Chain A
Amino acid sequence: DAKTTQPNSMESNEEEPVHLPCNHSTISGTDYIHWYRQLPSQGPEYVIHGLTSNVNNRMASLAIAEDRKSSTLILHRATLRDAAVYYCILSKSGGYGTDKLIFGTGTRLQVFP
């Protein structure tokens, strides 16, 4: 299974944009890039996912490098509620046994008022 590498921690001030990087140099052509976050004392929560093109939703944007070996999760205006551990995950499309999200240790994001 392809691995992802993320910084252990990052800091931001409230209402500033946050760019969370992820390296996945061994990604294969069928791997989707997912981002989840886990707030304290809660289960992981889906943020966004994509394959090749950049993606936007109400929570965040996902910028995927042209060679797909890295991606960046962008929170446009951080709030205190965005303080969480963010996981960048690769998962394969289709086929038996592909419903597996391989969580690394993630990036702990601190947001300061």
Chain B
Amino acid sequence: NAGVTQTPKFQVLKTGQSMTLQCAQDMNHNSMYWYRQDPGMGLRLIYYSASEGTTDKGEVPNGYNVSRLNKREFSLRLESAAPSQTSVYFCASSAPGGSYEQYFGPGTRLTVT
């Protein structure tokens, strides 16, 4: 049982390049989330998916797109990376039924030059 996995762990992009961050969970959770973490700002929600087939914007969605490929996988895409997207990205999932507890992946450290 791996929990929440993320790939890659590290990535360096040049401004304007695109990439997709992958996230998968094996806990049969319905809801999945993408956060970014910046110093002094805590975690801010980018997008979330309450269930398979649905996605919604969070607090800071600009410059990102997401795909809920199936119940297990939730990917985050940067179409044209900007230096302001340099951050650590975390994926999380939560179970149905009102437990609200979120389980986090190990993160992807992205640098955009």
- Same assembly: no
Interface residues of B (CB under 8 A from A): none
